[in-house]
Chain A
Amino acid sequence: MDLVSNSRLERVLKSGRFAVTAELDAPDSANPDDVYKNALVLSEVCDAINATDAAGANCHMSSMGCCALLTRAGYEPILQVGCRDRNRIAIQGDLLGAAAMGVNTVLCITGDDVSNGDQPEAKRVFDFDSIQLLQVVRTMRDKGVLLSGRKLSTKPRFFIGAVENPFAPPYDWRPLRLAKKAQAGAEFIQTQYCFDMPRFKQFMQRVCDLGLDKRVYILAGVGPLRSFKGAEFMRDRVPGVWIPDDLMHRMEKTPKNKQTTEGKQICIEIIQQVREIAGVAGVHVMAYRQEEMVADIIQKAGLLPRKINQN
């Protein structure tokens, strides 16, 4: 196996196994135990844990902070690097720091806008866009230089990821934009929440036609709906999430006290469906503040055990 990093996710994907990643919700706390409590549940059921970077522009413990704690305890975190809050100098510095702490995997994202977060008065940075960021990370790793051209005495060894949203317009450009990300350095992709299966199948068909499934590993984003109200909120208020009407009806006609179970069942069904789609290399499970449920979903979807040979 030709490996570019020490990333466990890279090993899983390159060995041809179906990968599972999950999102850790960064705490509103300065207590490391709050991170470990969440990570403990996830680490048993997934190959790598995404440490979010102020998701939804809501301020939480930073991705850097979470990753520092996670690597210290031997977990396999994915550092999420957003372009919203930091300029190019800060980002490159953080990447070096992360690599030095033992972070092996990074995920380059644009970032949700500040207007959706808890501090909409904040200044947006967006010095890079996610695609430029990808190329900068790859150049740091492969050529061992900063954007300025200054040499690094030790190169950061990262497995590099990006995100894609097949469910947002312009739909026919999305696969080509994925190609641009692959060209810039993306090696794996985590998608936005998959609820609209016909749309996702169409997207994956085009991705395979372009041969992109051979160039990047695609992890389909999935997650449980907590309730009908929660589903409505996600569809209308969370940027980039789309839930088709048939799923909304299914949630609505379920009695209130059973909606959480139904949402979980839908998630398991979606995982089973995406596994059958050509070009899908894994799933990325996102469940805001419901880590216990993630473990249950992954188990019921038949994705356990996850232990692999560490070599």
Chain B
Amino acid sequence: MSISPLKEARRAPGSEWLKNHPRFLEQTYLISKRFIAKTYPWMQKLSPRIANKLMVRSEEVLKGWAFNCQMCGQCILHSTGMTCPMNCPKNLRNGPCGGVRHNGNCEVMPDMPCVWVQAWERSQHMTVYVNDIQTLQPPVNRSLQGTSSWANMLDGKDMQTPKGWG
């Protein structure tokens, strides 16, 4: 019996055009980071509950469409060539596995280009974050799944690593 490969990573196609313009995306990232850092504290003062809901929802919609965001809550898109590493069926955060096919496609989903092959190519076209793909990424904090990575970034939650990490 053969089992059809993963469904979850195929949910939304994302925007290939957008992802192939990483330099534009990294500028967008820098601008939106500044914008959110300014507006989020105000939103929180008005209503923390609504502020949080708004953040989660807009992230789901925007990043979901653009990057097929999996809502891990600790976004590292800018260090992975603006290609979401959680789309890798093995959830790798530090680069490709050894199973990448000769044609550059995924071991698990033969018809999908390897997330990390794309991430590498795109990252090399970036200017600000070109070397960030070499950063050693800590283990994923699974308890942040489904939360807003923007909010977590402002709270510093996404950078917190366990005590015994390095």
- Interface bits B94-111 vs A (CB < 8 Å: 1, else 0): 111111111010011000
Which residue of A is nearest B121, CB measured?
Answer: A170
Contact residue among A124, A164, A176, A239 (Cβ-Cβ distance under 8 Å from B99): A239
A168 to chain B, nearest CB (A): 4
Q: Number of B interface residues, CB 8 Å?
A: 37
Is A135 on the interface with B (CB-CB < 8 A)?
Answer: yes
Cα A115 to Cα B91 in complex, Å, equals 15
Q: Does B138 contact A (CB under 8 A)?
A: yes
Q: Known contacts being A120-B3, A139-B164, A143-B164, is A240 close to B90, with CB within 8 Å?
A: no
Asked if B120 is an interface residue, CB under 8 A from chain A, the answer is yes
State A176–B102 Cα separation when bound (angstroms): 19
Q: Contact at B100–A149, with CB atoms within 8 Å?
A: no
Complex contacts, B2 vs chain A, CB 8 Å: 120
Query: Which chain A residues border B160 with CB–CB below 8 Å?
Result: none
Question: A131 near B136 (CB under 8 angstroms)?
Answer: yes
Residues of B within 8 Å of A113, CB to CB, are 89-90, 99, 107-108
Interface of A is mostly: loop
Residue A18 CB within 8 A of the other chain: no
Residue of B89, B99, B138, B140 with most partner-chain A CB within 10 A: B99
How many A-B residue pairs have C-beta atoms within 8 angstroms? Tell me: 124
Closest-by-CB residue of B relative to A132 is: B139
Contacts A120-B3, A124-B90, A147-B165 given; indicate if A168 touches B99 (C-beta within 8 A).
yes
Q: B49 an interface residue at 8 Å Cβ cutoff?
A: no
Q: What's the nearest-Cβ distance from chain A to residue B165, in Å? A: 6
- In angstroms, Cα B102 to Cα A253, docked, is 24
Q: A154: which B residues are within 8 A, CB to CB?
A: none
Interface pair A147/B95, CB less than 8 Å apart: no
Kindly list 7 other residue pairs between chains A and B, CB separation below 8 angstroms, not including A131-B95, A168-B102, A180-B94: A113-B108, A130-B94, A145-B164, A150-B164, A170-B96, A170-B100, A177-B96
B contacts, CB < 8 Å to A: 2-3, 5, 89-102, 104, 107-108, 114, 116-117, 120-121, 134, 136-140, 142, 162-166
- Of all A-B residue pairs in the complex, the 3 with the closest CB atoms, nearest first, are A149-B163, A165-B98, A239-B99
Residues on A lying within 8 angstroms of B by beta carbon are 83-84, 88, 110-113, 115-116, 120-121, 124, 126-132, 135-136, 139-140, 143, 145-150, 163-165, 168-170, 172-173, 176-177, 179-180, 183-184, 192, 239-240, 242
